[in-house]
Structure formats: C-alpha cells, structure tokens
C-alpha cells in the first residue's frame, strides 16, 4: 500500500517560508506499524529532517504522513503506565487547587486516549468529554464510560461535539499539541470552545532537554513540532492567547506543560515565562546553534556502531535489538544498525510475535534471550536503557554484551557492569 506523503513549504505555526534545515537525518519508516506476517517488500521511508522557522522559531518536521494511516491503529494506552497515571493525576490536582472553576465545570481532552486524564478530572467533579483520532484507544475509553468522539481535533469537528460541551471551563491536550499538521484548526477549535475565563493546558516535549540530553528518540513522524517556549508563545500571541504559567517535568526525559488563557483574561503571566524566553534566546536554542552538538552525538554514536559492525562481521557473532518502540527505526537508521540485527525483543502484547516495519524483523519475547543467547543486544528502547540492562544481568553473566545508545554509546559486559551502573546516566 502506497502511503500518502507530502512536504510543507511553510511553517506549521506562522505560515512563513523562511525555513532553514537544522538537522539532517536519514529517512525512516513509520515506527508503529507492526504486521502479523512478514512484510513482502521494503516498507516506505520518509524524510524526518528538522527545520527552524526564522520568523517564529518553531522547530518542526515538514514532511507529513497521511493522518489516517498514522493514527488508525495507535497502540499506546496512557492507563497502562503507572507513572503517566500519577503524572496526570498530579496535574489535575494542581489545576483544581490553583484555578477557580464554576460549580459544575466542564472539560474536554484533546487526544484523550483511554480517558486516563479525563478520569482524573471526573473524580474532582468535572463533566468530561474526549476527542481522539484512534479507534483503538477511544473504544477502551468508551468501555470505561468516557464519552469520546473519534476525530482529529480541529475547528472543523465542533458540530460533532455535544452542545453541552461547547462552552468549556478547561481544555487539555497532553502529548497531542505537536501531533497535527493543522495547528490553525486546532487552536481555532480551542478558541471557539473555551469560555472567556476558561483555561487551556497542553503538555509537549520541550526542545531544551531534547537538545541538552540528545533525545534523538523523540524525533519521529508523529512529533511534528518540537516546541520551545518562544515558538509556543509566538503562536499563542498570534491567536489571542497568553501563556500564564509553565511546568517542567521529566516525562520522556523532558516535557513542559503550558497554562494558557485568552488575552482578555486578567490572570497575570508568571515571571518564569519571560525568564525562559530570555534563557532560550541567550543560549542558542532558537537559531540552530545547539543542533550542531546534537549532530555530533549522532555522528560519534554512528562511528561506534560502525566499529561494532566490523567486529560482528569479523567474529561472525549475532546481535539483536531490545525494544520495539516507536523510536526504534529512528535510532536504528540514524546510527547505521541496519542489516545486522537478527530480531527484536519486546514483551508488549501488541508487538510480540509480530513483524516490525523496520527490515521486517520478528519481535520475540524477552524469554528468547536465554534460548537464543545472542552475542550482543543493543537497546533501542532508549528511555528504558538502564532498567533493561539491569534486568538482564543473567545474560551478561553468561558472557553476553549489551550496547547502550543513550545517553551515550557503551558496550556493557559483566566485567564493567558495576562501573557502568555507577556512572551518572
Ligand atoms: Zn513560523
């Protein structure tokens, strides 16, 4: 099946054509498409380079993939991860404690997934409504009693939202406000549905930790925008909103929650906003400078992988990869891990025993490690690197080598395991 793909020639947030490439990457397949039978031909690959808008400082991927294809079989469920449930509950608690609401407030969650965030507000007295483009997660939400509209949120779907959810006290958008090409439609939808004194909160990956910590694994086609406070602030200002508060979190190693109200709302903006704007412009986060260091991390890791490949070919040894995560193809392709991995290891029920879009690699459970005993295991699930390696000490004790790609390249054996564990990583 040919996947529809096109490339923007203007900024997704301000429509400017003043776009400069700041990160050159190799094209990758869509990360999240697993098949129950092997792929008969090479899966399509799409560019994933990052561009900086010189007008509004928005860092973005200009290549767009057919949205229906991207979201139709989404398999990530918020409610399966305790840290996400706790994080979203803490957020709901913060909102309720820090903002005034009417007696029976109403909230809508954009990209409501399985309803986890809405449930946190429901138990605090809110009427709740969800919108999500993925049937897979929306049907789970409905089973749990969360009314959910299956749609990609924009001003075009307002007519499909029940009348009693069109005058909202609160709109939330967690990890979705960077996931649509139609950002004008999204912000216009928020603008039309939010009461004059309502509040809009969205959480996204934050550009500063992406660059400081070399979070290459957060760059894939679903993440169309990598927000700085500067780019978000420019976008909000141009649509009649103002940012009044920010919260930095360690979700996915560095996220940020924006608290936004309409311009006419008298709530003042906290000092942290101007401080962060100054910090970003004074430290090279807005002009592409920081991407040079990021590129150095990619190149040096690729060089190490190249040496490892030579060794594997020389020794005739085997290597498999741990983690069938969305970010897997980005890491494998950029670091040159192609044509050497025998299979993937992952215990997620929606992935296990299936075939990855990347080289049609079979996904096997972690039990296969003891049976097959590969010589090397490279960790593609970068965010869980430390835990995965710690949980596989038996494999190391039996002579295996695990390879970490993030935060930096390391080959870990039973001999240097303790030393590696002591490192700050
Ligand atoms: Zn722009």
The Cα 213–Cα 224 span in angstroms is 19
pLDDT at 131: 97
308-422 has which CATH code?
Answer: 3.40.50.720
Listed in sequence order, the DSSP H helices in 15-134 are: 67-71, 82-98, 116-122
Question: Ligand 1 centroid vs 58 CA: distance in angstroms?
Answer: 5
The Cα 14–Cα 18 span in angstroms is 10
Question: Ligand 1 centroid vs 11 CA: distance in angstroms?
Answer: 5
Beta partners for residue 131, in sequence order = 110, 149
Question: Ligand 1 centroid vs 221 CA: distance in angstroms?
Answer: 19
Of 57-61, 347-351, 360-364, which gets the smallest average pLDDT? 347-351
Mean pLDDT for the stretch of residues 307-322? 95
Could you identify the residue written with the tokens 């979700």? 251
pLDDT at 346: 93
Question: Ligand 1 centroid vs 55 CA: distance in angstroms?
Answer: 5
Do residues 134 and 73 lie in contact, with contact meaning Cβ atoms separated by under 8 Å?
yes
Listed in sequence order, the DSSP H helices in 259-367 are: 271-282, 289-315, 328-334
Q: Where are the domains of the chain?
A: 78-282, 308-422
pLDDT at 80: 77
Question: Ligand 1 centroid vs 228 CA: distance in angstroms?
Answer: 12
Task: Quickly state the pLDDT bin for 384 (edges 50, 70, 90).
Answer: very high
Do residues 198 and 170 lie in contact, with contact meaning Cβ atoms separated by under 8 Å?
yes
pLDDT at 425: 55
Question: Ligand 1 centroid vs 164 CA: distance in angstroms?
Answer: 35
Question: Ligand 1 centroid vs 15 CA: distance in angstroms?
Answer: 6
* Stretch (H or E) spanning 417: helix 417-422
pLDDT tens readout for residues 274-297: 999 999 999 999 988 899 999 999
**How high does pLDDT run on average in the chain?**
93
Mean pLDDT for the stretch of residues 31-44? 81
Q: 312 φ, ψ to 5°?
A: -65, -40
% of the chain surpassing 90 pLDDT: 80
Fold matches, 78-282 and 308-422: yes
Question: Ligand 1 centroid vs 190 CA: distance in angstroms?
Answer: 20
- Does this model's pTM top 0.95? no
pLDDT at 229: 98
Task: Quickly state the pLDDT bin for 35 (edges 50, 70, 90).
Answer: confident
Question: Ligand 1 centroid vs 181 CA: distance in angstroms?
Answer: 13
Burial of 310 (0-12, 13-18, 19+ CB in 10 A): exposed
DSSP label of 62 = -
Question: Ligand 1 centroid vs 137 CA: distance in angstroms?
Answer: 32
78-282 has which CATH code?
Answer: 3.40.50.150
**Per-residue pLDDT at 329 exceeds 90:** no
Could you identify the residue written with the tokens 């970068």? 382
pLDDT at 40: 78
Question: Ligand 1 centroid vs 128 CA: distance in angstroms?
Answer: 33
pLDDT at 75: 65
Question: Ligand 1 centroid vs 16 CA: distance in angstroms?
Answer: 5
Question: Ligand 1 centroid vs 367 CA: distance in angstroms?
Answer: 48
Q: Which protein residues have their CB within 5 A of the ion that is ligand 1?
A: 11, 13-14, 16, 53, 55-56, 58
**Per-residue pLDDT at 236 exceeds 70:** yes
Question: Ligand 1 centroid vs 102 CA: distance in angstroms?
Answer: 36
Check residues 116 and 76 and name the one with the higher pLDDT.
116
Do residues 131 and 153 lie in contact, with contact meaning Cβ atoms separated by under 8 Å?
yes
Question: Ligand 1 centroid vs 268 CA: distance in angstroms?
Answer: 26
Mean pLDDT for the stretch of residues 171-192? 95
Question: Ligand 1 centroid vs 69 CA: distance in angstroms?
Answer: 26
Q: In 27-65, which positions are buried (b, 16+ CB within 10 angstroms) versus exposed (e)?
A: ebbbbbbbeeeebeeebebbebbbbbbbbbbbbbbbbbb
Question: Ligand 1 centroid vs 10 CA: distance in angstroms?
Answer: 8
Could you identify the residue written with the tokens 């294809």? 69
pLDDT tens readout for residues 409-425: 999 999 999 999 988 65
First to last CA, the chain: 41
Mean pLDDT for the stretch of residues 329-335? 92
pLDDT at 194: 98
């Amino acid at each position: 099946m040919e996947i529809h793909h096109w490339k923007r020639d203007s900024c997704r947030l301000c429509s400017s054509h003043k776009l400069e490439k700041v990160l050159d990457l190799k094209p990758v397949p869509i990360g999240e498409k697993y098949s129950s039978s092997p792929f008969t031909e090479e899966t399509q690959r799409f560019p994933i380079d990052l561009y900086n808008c010189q007008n509004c400082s928005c860092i973005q991927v200009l290549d767009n993939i057919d949205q229906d294809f991207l979201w139709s079989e989404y398999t990530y469920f918020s409610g399966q991860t305790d840290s996400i449930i706790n994080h979203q509950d803490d957020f709901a608690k913060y909102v309720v404690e820090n903002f005034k609401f009417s007696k029976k407030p109403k909230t809508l969650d954009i990209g409501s997934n399985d309803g986890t965030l809405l449930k946190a507000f429901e138990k605090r007295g809110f009427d709740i409504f969800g919108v999500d483009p993925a049937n897979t997660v929306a049907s789970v939400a409905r089973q749990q009693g969360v009314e959910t509209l299956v749609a990609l949120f924009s001003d075009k779907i307002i007519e499909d939202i029940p009348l009693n959810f069109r005058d909202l006290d609160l709109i939330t958008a967690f990890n979705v406000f960077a996931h649509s090409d139609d950002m004008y439609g999204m912000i216009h939808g928020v603008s039309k549905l939010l009461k004059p004194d309502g509040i809009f909160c969205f959480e996204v990956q934050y550009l500063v930790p992406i660059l400081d910590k070399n979070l290459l694994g957060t760059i894939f086609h679903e993440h169309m925008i990598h927000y700085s406070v500067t780019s978000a602030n420019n976008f909000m200002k141009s649509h009649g909103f103002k940012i009044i508060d920010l919260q930095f979190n360690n979700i996915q190693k560095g996220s940020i929650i924006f608290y936004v109200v309409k311009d006419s709302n008298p709530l003042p903006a906290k000092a942290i906003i101007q401080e962060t704007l100054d910090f970003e412009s004074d430290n090279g986060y807005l002009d592409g400078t920081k991407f040079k260091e990021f590129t150095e991390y990619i190149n040096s890791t690729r060089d190490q992988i190249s040496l490892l490949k030579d060794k594997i070919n020389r020794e005739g040894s085997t290597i498999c990869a741990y983690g069938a995560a969305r970010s897997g193809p980005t890491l494998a392709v950029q670091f040159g891990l192609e044509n050497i991995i025998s299979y993937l290891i992952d215990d997620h029920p929606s992935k296990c025993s299936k075939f990855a879009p990347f080289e049609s690699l079979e996904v096997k459970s972690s039990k296969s490690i003891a049976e097959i005993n590969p010589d090397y295991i490279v960790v593609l699930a970068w965010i869980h690197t430390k835990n995965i390696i710690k949980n596989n000490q038996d494999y190391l004790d039996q002579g295996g080598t695990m390879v970490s790609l993030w935060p930096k390249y390391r080959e870990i054996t039973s001999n240097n395991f303790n030393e590696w564990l002591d490192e700050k990583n």
